[in-house]
Structure 1
Amino acid sequence: MSAPKKFAAVTGAGSGIGRAAAISLAAAGFTVALIGRREEPLLETKEAIAVAGGKAEVFPADVADEAWVDRAFSRIAQEFGRLDVLFNNAGRNAGAVPLEEYSLDFWNDVVATNLTGVFLCARAAWRLMKNQNPQGGRIINNGSISAHSPRPQTIAYSATKHAVSGITKSLALDGRPFNIACSQIDIGNAATSLTDRMTRGVLQADGTTAPEARMDVTHVANAIVHMASLPLEANVLNMTIMATTMPFVGRG
């Protein structure tokens, strides 16, 4: 008797951690829904998965737009029939900006993507997981080590990542009656285009600028596959994965 099919959705699947996670999930046997604002990078991810013998479909959506999100997850329900895992990954970076120079538009843009987007996608996935048969599923939120300790002059990014931790805990609690598990992976300096600047030097807590170590993004993808592949009776509530020598543990 063949194993039941498994279905996962990855937001921000067009590049970086999202692309790496989608490819690894497909290699692990999941059919993957690729979600992101721009269709072309999603098609590139789909092609990479197909070349490796995996299966994926593209669902363009801006995670901060309620109508886009609901439409994408409605299509996922129609085409896949169920959803077993959501990797709530989409987010935007925000470099160091002194507080007095923050504009409300900048704040709102970071919050819309990093916080509201997480909520909208979690809600849409939750509705599917609660109502499908068999009931249940898993939501993995991409937090950040900034959910524990901020970088200098990153109030919007740090605030949203701390808030994601609250979302994770709330969903982990509220999901119990419906067999929905929720977890969070806090990632430090995975080697993607977004962290290229780390190798040139970034602002440290002591006011200096220094380069930081990075790790291969494949390690992050493998960790996500491990979390996604657990039976629903078990949950990695929080995982921190980071380059061993990056300046996170300790004082700076």
Structure 2
Amino acid sequence: MSTAPRNRFSGSTALVTGAGSGLGRAIALALAAEGANVVAVGRTAAPLDETVALIEAAGGTALAHPADVSRADDVKAAVRTTVDRFGSLDVAVNNAGVFRGGGPVADLSAKDWQTLLDINVTGVLYGLQAQVAQMRTQESGGAIVNISSNIGPHRTQSGATAYGVSKAAVSALTRGAALDHIADGVRINAVSPGASATSMSLRPGETEAERDVRMKGESPLGRVAATSEVAAAVLYLASSDAASVVGADLVIDGGASA
């Protein structure tokens, strides 16, 4: 069997939010490896520059654009920068998200609740609005993938109710937007990861080795997902391989929500 790399995104331009670390960085690297020009978006410049450096070291093309996804003007500016630099926006991945308010619902602070809504939900809405506005002007349209979670849309977890609410909203927003805009030539889907090999899956004070032991008992698969496995799902949905996939929510959680 051939192991030659695929180039499904050659000549395309992709924007990835939350691209300074974790899943966002893995997705940005994977898109660049398959030929996309990548615009790495996030709140802090330094980690975005690191992502760009990794892409360029591997022979790819990338640009860092600091932005706060909870600010509509920032998101619009990121799309403008993308189009000004590369001429189009073909793929967008709304990955930026936070976990706040761990604990019982009755003890949830108003600040944590608002932060979850501002970044995890409104940030995705602003992304969709700016991205669709550009993509529907393009003859080729575009593809958008929102990063949701298995917590909320697909399962519940004690102490993570507020986070789950925000991610259930992302999944609902994805399905509705997908129907609203497929006639514009824009395909919109979601990926819902479970625990993956990022800092978000670590409990306070827990090491990666301790997490791996814990996951043997908690996950049917017996481990967290590699970030490359989640990225592969995103690239599938963003590619022409998924040309007839609209409004899907692909769960990558090792069977936790089965």
Q: TM-score, normalised by structure 1?
A: 0.88
Match of 2:147 in 1: 142
Instruction: Write the letter of the residue equivalent to 1:145.
Output: N
Indicate if the aligned counterparts of 2:101 and 2:112 stay in contact, CA closer than 8 A: no
Alignment of 1:212-231 (within 5 A): 213-230=223-240
Specify which of 48, 61, 65 is matched with residue 59 of structure 1.
Answer: 65
Partner residue in 2 for 1:84: 90
Partners of 1:111 and 1:123 lie apart in 2 by 16
CA displacement 1:196-219 (0-9 Å, x = unmatched): 227647xxxxxxxx7653121111
Higher strand share: 1
What does residue 205 of structure 1 align with? none
Decide whether aligned partners of structure 1 residues 79 and 135 sit closer, same or farther in structure 2, where only a CA change above 3 A counts: same
CA offsets 1:40-97 (integer angstroms, 9 cap, x no match): 0000000111111111111110000112111111111211211111111000013531
- Report if aligned partners of 1:181, 1:232 keep a CA contact under 8 Å in 2: no
Q: What is the letter of the counterpart of residue 138 of structure 1? A: A
CA shift, 1:100, in A, is 2.0
Contact 2:143 2:188 in 1 (8 A): yes
Deviations 1:144-196 (A, max 9, x none): 10121121122221111111111111111011221110101010111112212
Distance (whole Å) between structure 1 residues aligned to residue 162 and residue 132 of structure 2: 26
User: Which stretches in structure 2 are left out of the alignment for 5+ residues?
Assistant: 1-8, 212-216
Q: 1:248 to 1:93 in 2, by over 3 A?
A: same
TM-score with structure 2 setting the length: 0.86
Give percent identity, aligned residues only: 35
Q: Which residue of 1 aligns with 2:249?
A: 238
1:248 equivalent in alignment to 2:254: no
Aligned amino acid, residue 257 of structure 2: F
Match of 1:45 among 51, 60, 82: 51
Q: Is the 8 A contact 1:135 1:178 kept in 2?
A: no
SS at match of 1:190: coil
**Over residues 16-47 of structure 1, what are the superposed CA-to-partner deviations in whole Å (9 max), with x where a residue is unaligned?**
00000000000011111100000100000001
Aligned residues: 237
Question: Equivalents in 2 of 1:96, 1:72: separation in Å?
Answer: 31
Shift in CA distance, 106/31, structure 1 to aligned 2, threshold 3 Å: same
Q: Give the 3 Å change call, closer, same or farther, for CA 215–232 of structure 1 in structure 2.
A: closer
| CA spacing shift, 1:176–1:211, aligned 2, 3 Å | closer
Q: Deviation at 1:243?
A: 3.0
1:72 aligns with 2:54: no
Q: Does 1:193 align with 2:207?
A: no
Residue 5 of structure 2 corresponds to which residue in structure 1? none
The secondary structure found in structure 2 opposite 1:13 is coil
AA at the equivalent of 2:253:
M
**Cα distance per residue 1:76-130 (max 9 Å; x no partner):** 1211211111111000013531222111111001110100000001111011001
Structural RMSD (CA): 2.1
- Partner letter of residue 114 of structure 1? N
User: Residue type matched to 1:128 in 2?
Assistant: Q
Secondary structure at the aligned position of 1:82 is classed as coil
Matched, 1:158 2:164: yes
Q: Counterpart amino acid of 2:226? A: D
Task: Give the residue type in structure 2 aligned to 1:137.
Answer: G
